[in-house]
Amino acid sequence: MKKGELLHTIVLFTILLGGIFTFWFAKGNTSLQLAIGTVTTMAYVAWGIIHHSLKGDLHRKVVIEYVLVGLIAIVLLTTLAL
């Protein structure tokens, strides 16, 4: 694994683990959990777009994929929170 790829992977894990831990610490407060989930999802989508842009393989399909995965995550989170 190249140095840049390792850094990108560390950033991704930091985003996801930070979202998971803050989500867990906010248990009992569904509106805060929904906000944390939304922010984590937006950070994930931004990371994906930046990551692929830096790699030079950013295409419309990649952006659509990240956005759709993010939307599915938010829909699931919203559905489970209600």
**pLDDT tens, residue by residue, 35-82:** 999 999 999 999 999 999 999 999 999 999 999 999 999 999 999 876
CB 37 within 8 A of CB 77: yes
Give the pTM: 0.91
Distance of CA 49 to the CA centre of its chain: 11
Q: Domain ranges in the chain? A: 3-81
Query: What distance, in Å, lies between the first and last C-alpha atoms of the chain?
Result: 42
